[in-house]
Structure 1
Amino acid sequence: MIEAHEIKEDMPVVTAQAEEFAVVDHTTGPDSIKLKKDDSGTHHYIPVSWVISTEGGVVKINRTLEQVKKDWTTKSMENV
């Protein structure tokens, strides 16, 4: 299991199919990752529980891009 302290600012985030879709802004507590603003100027958040690896300085998650876009949020998951 990956812990939030293993996830660092500016690490690329890739899907289960190795598609890079975001960059880490920072973690928000032990359970949430804030992503840098996307092209629309919006921050998104994903749960740390999606992360399966941080090997090679890359955050790899267990979701497809379609799943990510359906399930990510624009509000912090901290204290949820």
Structure 2
Amino acid sequence: MTTINVENIKSHADVIASCGTKVGEVDHLQGSDQIKLTKHGDGHHHLIPVSWVGEITDNKIVLTKDSQEVKDTWVEA
């Protein structure tokens, strides 16, 4: 299992679901265990757990969840 360094999660990085769909952009880290996404098309911020991050590359955060699972389980902030 790869360890994710949360310090590598930068504001405005694209957040990509495991299926390749962009699900948002990083607004900022909230605490050490949640990523707050910029406002979505519904006008709300959403929170996703850092534990969903599979890898961080080239200003992209790639998740271990597909886009439907992300949208079904993210938390409105």
Q: TM-score, normalised by structure 1?
A: 0.88
Mean alpha-carbon deviation: is it higher for 2-11 or for 28-37? 2-11
User: What RMSD over aligned residues (CA atoms) do the two structures have, in Å?
Assistant: 0.9
Matched positions, count: 75
Q: TM-score, normalised by structure 2?
A: 0.91
1:33-55 per-position Cα deviation (integer Å, ceiling 9, x unaligned): 00000111100000000001111
SS in 1 for 2:48: strand
Partner of residue 37, structure 1: 39
Question: What is the distance in 2 between the residues matched to 1:35 and 1:66?
Answer: 16
SS in 2 for 1:68: helix
Of residues 51, 74, 77, the one that matches 2:76 is 74
Residue identity (%):
33
SS in 2 for 1:37: coil
Partner of residue 25, structure 2: 23
AA aligned opposite 2:29? T
Q: Alpha-carbon deviation of 1:3?
A: 2.8
Unpaired runs of 5+ in structure 2? none
Structure having the larger proportion of residues in strand: 2
Q: Alpha-carbon deviation of 1:57?
A: 1.3
Is the counterpart of residue 3 in structure 1 residue 14 in structure 2?
no
